Structure 1
Amino acid sequence: MSREDLERYENEHELALFKEYRDVLALFTYVVETDRRFYLANHVDVQVQSTGTEVFFEVTLADAWVWDIYRSSRFVKRVRVITFKDVNVEEIAKSELMPS
């Protein structure tokens, strides 16, 4: 497989993923961004943990969708994420979902 073939493959899958995201967005309440992944979820719990001088975030999501082109199933019932970087959680404004 050439580099161009690989790029085309990834671009096609990224576009398909974006279309899926657009289709499922209205099903969720929160957008969650970590240093490694992007999620949609209906329940989010973020706990700040520390072990001495280390601080990390334990994020628990329920009824979630994962932005990942390599997953065969992006819908997950429950997921636990540990990250040492900030976590961004935003509530989706339902008015933003309505077409203009």
Structure 2
Amino acid sequence: MDDEVFEDYDRELELALFKEYRDVVSQFQYVIETERRFYLANDVNVVRRDTEHDFYFEISMTDVWVWDIYRADRFVKSVRVLTFKDVNVEELQRRDFQLPEELSLDS
């Protein structure tokens, strides 16, 4: 197989993942971004943990959808993440659930 076939396959997976995200985002209350993953969750708790010379974040999420192309089942009951990097948590509002027309794949 040549590189173009793999690129086409990855593009198709990415598009399918975006469509799935678009279909499920209205079921969730929070968007959580870490350096490695993007999550949707209905409950999230972030705790700063201090060590002797540094600190890290412990993120606990329940009722979770994980943005990951290669994951067979993106719906997870609970997720726990430990990270030394930035964490972004946003609470979604009803108006955030609508994608702008320019992002619509149905037009």
Normalised TM-score (structure 2): 0.88
* Alpha-carbon shift at residue 93 of structure 1 (Å): 1.2
1:89 and 1:49 map into 2 onto residues whose CA distance is: 17
Map of 1:77 onto structure 2: 77
* Alpha-carbon shift at residue 32 of structure 1 (Å): 0.2
1:36 and 1:99 map into 2 onto residues whose CA distance is: 24
Q: Secondary structure at the match of 1:70?
A: coil
CA RMSD of aligned residues (A): 1.3
Normalised TM-score (structure 1): 0.94
* Alpha-carbon shift at residue 98 of structure 1 (Å): 4.3
* Alpha-carbon shift at residue 54 of structure 1 (Å): 1.9
1:47 and 1:77 map into 2 onto residues whose CA distance is: 20
Number of positions where the alignment pairs a residue of Structure 1 with one of Structure 2: 100
Q: Secondary structure at the match of 1:64?
A: strand
User: Any stretches of 5+ residues in structure 1 without a counterpart?
Assistant: none
- Structure with greater proportional strand content: 1
Percent identity between matched residues is 57
1:50 aligns with 2:50: yes
1:14 aligns with 2:38: no
* Alpha-carbon shift at residue 13 of structure 1 (Å): 0.3
